[in-house]
Amino acid sequence: MESPHLRIESTGEIVKLRPDVTTVGRGAFVDVHLDHPSVSKLHAEIVRRGPYAYVSDLGLSRNGTRVNGRVVAQRLLEDGDVLAFGSQRCQVGGLPTEEMLPEMSLRRSAIPELTRREVDVVAALCQPALSDEAFVAPATAREIAADLVVTEAAVKQHLLRLYQKLRIAEGPNRRTRLANEVMALGLVRPLPAAEPDGPDTRPPAVPPVSAARPATPPAGVMPPAPRLPADSQLAS
């Protein structure tokens, strides 16, 4: 049986996966070197655990990581999966095959493919949740628009499409339910504390300035439990 490996599509080069962690990126000291500006210096890791392997996007590139066309934060890999780091594609091979349980197969196929702008919108939506110890509230459409330097109307259109793609029914707290869903699917995750990687990296996950952010309580006073506000600021 052949060893677990990645085949780089642009060159045909085959790189064996390390027994523990294989680093992927544009940098000079990674294990799988992809020389393209859409790839971050340290873009992703492929982690092996016994016979299994999963890819973990490090959140340091605007161009993200995809598995079989779908944006991922972390994803268990199957033999033959096609990975895209920025615009560079690789195929994983040599992994042992195992019959997937029906619920696992359904879970893998449940994640819809998102556009690059939709990924930016959900990242900005969840930014407060990734920065605070408690999920106070997702960003408003106005805050997302300011973060992405687009109009509020454009953000609302993207949110409407995201509601449809992720099957978020109409009703109260719709933005909160959307944020919970994309985080549960692994489409958004906390950014690691790292130095920026040039002009193609994401900024650190700094929460937007908002009156909704709770103030620091005086010493000795217990803060109240966070409450999720009704999603009345965004039209369904």
Count: domains in the chain: 2
* 140 and 75 share one domain: no
CATH assignment at residue 17: 2.60.200.20
Question: b/e map of 188-221 (b: 16 or more CB within 10 Å)?
Answer: bbebeeeeebeebbbeebeebeeeeeeeeeeeee
- The separation between CA 130 and the C-alpha centre of its own chain, rounded to angstroms, equals 12
Q: Is 164 a member of any domain?
A: yes
Question: Along the 236 residues of the chain, how does pLDDT read in single tens digits?
Answer: 589 999 999 999 999 999 999 999 999 999 999 999 999 999 999 999 988 999 988 877 777 888 887 778 788 899 999 999 988 999 999 998 876 555 555 455 556 777 878 888 988 888 876 654 444 678 899 999 999 999 999 999 999 999 988 888 888 888 888 887 877 676 765 544 444 455 554 444 444 444 444 455 555 545 555 454 444 444 44
Q: Is 31 a member of any domain?
A: yes
Secondary structure element (H or E) that encloses residue 127, with its range: helix 127-131
CA-based radius of gyration for the chain:
20
* 92 and 160 share one domain: no
Q: Is 90 a member of any domain?
A: yes
CATH assignment at residue 170: 1.10.10.10
* 148 and 93 share one domain: no
Q: Which of 33, 67, 97 is the last residue of a domain?
A: 97
Q: Is 68 a member of any domain?
A: yes
Domain that holds residue 28: 5-97
Would you say 114 and 121 are in contact if contact means Cβ atoms under 8 Å apart?
Answer: no
Pairing of strands 5-8, 32-33: unpaired
C-beta atoms surrounding 230 within 10 Å: 11
Q: Is 11 a member of any domain?
A: yes
* 168 and 127 share one domain: yes
- E-strand ranges in 94-228 read none
Whole-angstrom distance, CA of residue 79 vs CA of residue 100: 12
Whole-angstrom distance, CA of residue 110 vs CA of residue 97: 21
